Amino acid sequence: MTYRLYNRPGSGGFVVEAALSLAEAPFELDEFESKPGTPLPESFRATNPWGQVPTLVLPDGTTMTEAAAILIHLAACFPANGLGPAPGTSDHAKFLRWLVFASVNLYEAILRRGYPFRFTSDPGGYDALGAAADARLKDGLAVLDAAVAPGPFLLGAEMSVADIYIAMLLTWSRGLADAPHLVAMKNRVKADPVVGPVWRRHFGDR
C-alpha cells in the first residue's frame, strides 16, 4: 500500500517527505513546479478544497492536510521508526505541546509575513501586519530555543519529526532571531543520513 504526497519544492511538505522517508514507507510524490507564494492549479481543489500543500493521501484513500497533523499520524503509524515518542508518555506530551506550539505560533506568523493579503483586506495594513508577525515569530523562536537548550534535540538524545518541523520553520525565518540552540539542532537535522538528502533537495544548504 502506497502513500501519495502532493507538495512543491521548499514548501511544508518537505517535513512530510522526510517523515515518510524515516518511516521507510512507500510513497509517490506528486510535486508541483510552481514556487511558494504562487497559486496552485485550480484543479487541485478537487483533492484539497483549501488549495494548499502538503496534502497526503493515505493508502486507504483518506486525505490528510495540515503538516503537524500528518506528522502526528505518521508517528503513530510507525512506532518502531522513531518518528515520535510513545503515546501516553511524558515525552509524547512534550512532543504534542511543541509541535502544536510551532504550528499555531511560528508557522502562522510566517504565513502572515509572507501572505498578508490572507489576513487583511487593507493593503495599507500589510507593513504593520508583517511587523507584528516578525515580533511574534521572534518571541516564539526564543521560547523554543530555551526549550531545546538542554539538547541535543527537543526531547533529548533522539530526533523526532518535531525537530525536523521546527528546523524547517527556523530556516524560513531567515535569521530573524538569535537562537543558537535551534541552529545547532537544525544542523543536526541536516546531518541526518535520511533527512539530509531530502533537506538539500528542498533547501540546499540553508
Strand partners, 29: 5
Kindly state whether residues 109 and 166 are assigned to the same domain.
yes
Q: Same domain for 172 and 114?
A: yes
pLDDT in tens, 136-161: 999 999 999 999 999 999 999 999 99
The domain spanning residue 114 has which CATH number?
A: 1.20.1050.10
| Last residue in a domain, options 57, 81, 105 | 81
- Residue type (1 letter), 46: A
The CATH number covering residue 11 comes to: 3.40.30.10
Do 110 and 160 lie in a common domain? yes
| Average pLDDT, integer, range 170-181 | 92
Dist CA 99 CA 84 (whole Å): 11
Residue 198 falls inside a structural domain? no
Domain identity same for 56 and 103: no
Domain span at residue 75? 3-81
Query: Do strands 3-7 and 27-31 pair parallel, antiparallel, or not at all (unpaired)?
Result: parallel
At 48-104, the pLDDT tens digits run: 999 899 999 999 999 999 999 999 999 999 999 999 999 999 999 999 999 999 999
Distances (CA, A) of 10 to 37, 80, 95, 172, 203: 11, 28, 24, 9, 6
pTM of the predicted protein model: 0.95
The C-alpha atoms of residue 140 and residue 170 are separated, in whole angstroms, by 11
Query: Which amino acid is residue 10, in one-letter code?
Result: G
